[in-house]
Amino acid sequence: MPIQNRITQLFASGKKDLLSVYFTAGFPVLHSTLQIAKDLQEAGADFIEIGFPYSDPLADGPVIQQSSQIALKNGMNLEILFEEIKDLRKEIHIPILLMGYFNPVLQYGVKRFCESCSLVGVDGIIIPDLPMTEYENLYKETFLKYQLSNIFLVTPQSSEDRIRKIDSLTDGFIYLLSSSSTTGQVGDLKQVTSEYLDRLKSMNLRNPLMVGFGISNHKAFQEVCQHTRGAIVGTAFIRAQNEGKSPHDFVQEIKGLS
């Protein structure tokens, strides 16, 4: 039985040029999560990824690492996050994903984590260090039970067999990393789109594609949207938060509406 949630509904709608914005829960201050999500929704974000901080974020660049360190110092953890977003669906109608590393989820309890996500209205999970085989053998049925999309990441180095396996295990979208480096590293997106994204598009995968890592302006957003359903922006938004830029101005700039 395929998953039916706000993520799958959004992609089934056919809407293009989708923008997902990532931010770190507990940054810049504790108990700001719901307000930031509301601001991003009002600004025009199509869906949101809320990062739960971890002390050893291997795939994150320095900007997101710093936001995680500040969030941890502020006291953020999964218990507090779920309490903060318990009334999420009273005001937020766009899809919400949680993104983070597996260790905090394991400590919290995978079944309990999925149940908590379902109770507050979270639609999907991105856990970069959860092995595909482990997910399939141990946790897939739990994710399905709670109608949670588990989103896998693909890099330019991923083999066709791995990509097709990910496609078979996914309900939602496939998260394409524009490079195999850490987040926030801006590469040559034209090279990425011409070689990598065209190759993936030609595979006729079941799931839609979203690109993340290195999208920081409207030009880059436009480039990847020519080949995929949209882009995921994280580092650039946290940088904008550090500079005091409002979520409205940030989203409008990325979408080219300002």
**pLDDT over threshold 80, residue 61:** no
Query: Is residue 8 assigned to a domain?
Result: no
Which position has the higher pLDDT, 227 or 6? Answer: 6
Task: Please state, rounded to an integer, the average pLDDT across all residues of the chain.
Answer: 91
Check which CATH number belongs to the domain holding 117 and give it.
Answer: 3.20.20.70
- C-alpha pair distances (Å), 227 with each of 10, 210, 217: 18, 9, 17
- Residue 186 CA to residue 161 CA, distance in Å, equals 27
Could you tell me the residue range of the domain that residue 198 belongs to?
A: 18-255
For residues 16 and 229, is the Cβ–Cβ distance under 8 A? Answer: yes
Query: What positions carry a catalytic annotation?
Result: 49, 60
Q: Which of 103-107, 118-122, 147-151, 200-204 has the least mean pLDDT?
A: 200-204
pLDDT of the residue at 55: 79
Mean pLDDT along residues 82-89: 96
The whole-number pLDDT of residue 62 equals 84
Angle 235-171-103 from CA coordinates, rounded to 5°? 55
Tens of pLDDT, residue by residue over 171-186, are: 999 999 876 544 444 4
Q: How far is the C-alpha of 159 from the C-alpha of 155, rounded, in Å?
A: 9
In a domain, 101, yes or no: yes
Cα three-residue angle 49-60-15, rounded to 5 degrees? 30
Token output for 125: 């999970």
What does the pLDDT look like over 240-257, one tens digit per residue? 999 999 999 999 999 998
* pLDDT for position 185: 46
- Asked if the structure places residue 9 within a domain, the reply is no
Considering its fold, how many domains does the chain have in total? 1
Give the pLDDT of residue 184: 43
In a domain, 1, yes or no: no
pLDDT reported for residue 4: 92
Confidence (pLDDT) at 189: 55
Q: 182-238: per-residue pLDDT in tens?
A: 444 444 555 556 678 888 989 999 999 999 878 899 999 998 898 899 999 999 999
Whether residue 195 lies inside any domain: the answer is yes
Is 83 a domain residue? Answer: yes
State the Cα–Cα distance between residues 164 and 201, nearest whole angstrom.
12
What is the pTM (predicted TM-score) of this model? Answer: 0.93
Asked if residue 7 is part of any domain, the answer here is: no
pLDDT over 90 (residue 258): no
Please say if the pLDDT value at position 127 is more than 80.
yes
In a domain, residue 165? The reply is: yes
Residues 122-131, mean pLDDT to the nearest whole number: 96
Outline where DSSP puts E strands in the chain.
18-24, 47-51, 96-99, 124-126, 149-151, 153-154, 174-177, 209-212, 230-233
- Of the candidates 163, 124, 133, 104, the one whose C-alpha atom is nearest the C-alpha of residue 22 is 124
Residue with tokens 């180095």: 157
The alpha carbon dihedral of 189, 194, 195, 199 has a sign of positive
Q: Among candidates 3, 41, 2, 234, which has minimal Cα distance to 118?
A: 3
Spell out the residues 6+ positions from residue 219 whose beta carbon is closer than 8 angstroms to its own. none
Percent of the chain with pLDDT over 90: 78
CB 233, CB 20: distance < 8 Å: yes
When pLDDT is averaged across residues 44-72 and rounded to a whole number, the result is 87
